[in-house]
Structure 1
């Protein structure tokens, strides 16, 4: 399975202490150089910078051969979508709404942080209520009614 990750899902899974569900769900995860650079930025949370320093073996840094210039998003999203399209990835981990639409328009399958946590919860890897409570302590944006609906659906 080829899985490409954008910055946001990695960032939030690190912040809530659930980053290790990714290799359990997907094995290797490909991360574009632009995403790695965003995670390494000076303004990144300390937990994220610490994680970057000890790069896990299940992460492969890989950049696209060609950048899709028709994508008008940030460099991380653009490289993630370009790489996923180039490699015919099975899944792109991406949260940004416009980026998800751009990926879907290119025939890619997408999953965001919430989808990842739901999938892990179905496999007994994470307590969804705790994960969502931790996520709400970050600057992750999701409408509370939607969060409640997801929790009710998964109960």
Structure 2
């Protein structure tokens, strides 16, 4: 198993569909960055249905030593910036990101990226889930936008 660094959306959506506990079953260690923890804490204080990270003993909050380039800051949120910065320091880790631009930037930097759907697919492939089709519907119901094409491709990869 590998280690992973997660941005906000995979933590949020896996929590909302009741599958956040897949992460410690798929990865040795799971990290996130302070801005992600702050974002989720702020959401909780405002009454949103978000995970409280202190409840997950397997999740470690780590600050990157350096920040990413200023030009990235124009188009990415602070969570994505810190997540990518930490991933650049720890190249052997898988980064969990759903934002399209953040994913492309991380991949261009040579970082392995998984989205929330890939987490579900890998969990099914490892026998941790019997099916992912109902979970993809749950993700959509919880606010995650998933195109019909992406849904078809993921379900095809899952043999569903």
Q: Same fold (TM over 0.5)?
A: yes
| Residue equivalent to 2:62 | 62
Query: 1:59-84 CA deviation, whole Å, 9 max, x = no partner?
Result: 00001011112422100000000001
Tell me by how many angstroms 1:89 deviates: 3.6
Instruction: Give the alignment partner of residue 95 of structure 1, picking from 95, 98, 106.
Output: 98
How does the TM-score come out when normalised to structure 2?
0.88
Pairwise CA RMSD:
1.6
| SS of residue matched to 1:88 | coil
How does the TM-score come out when normalised to structure 1?
0.90
| Contact 1:4–1:89 under 8 Å retained in 2 | no
Q: Distance in 2 between matches of 1:93 and 1:107?
A: 14
| Residue equivalent to 2:83 | 80
| Residue equivalent to 2:14 | 13
Q: Distance in 2 between matches of 1:103 and 1:54?
A: 27
Matches for 1:97-112 after TM superposition, within 5 Å: 97-112=100-115
Matches for 1:1-155 after TM superposition, within 5 Å: 1-42=2-43, 43=46, 45-46=48-49, 48=50, 51-52=51-52, 54-70=54-70, 71-72=72-73, 73-126=76-129, 127-155=131-159
Which runs of structure 1 show a deviation greater than 6 angstroms over 4 or more consecutive aligned residues? Answer: none
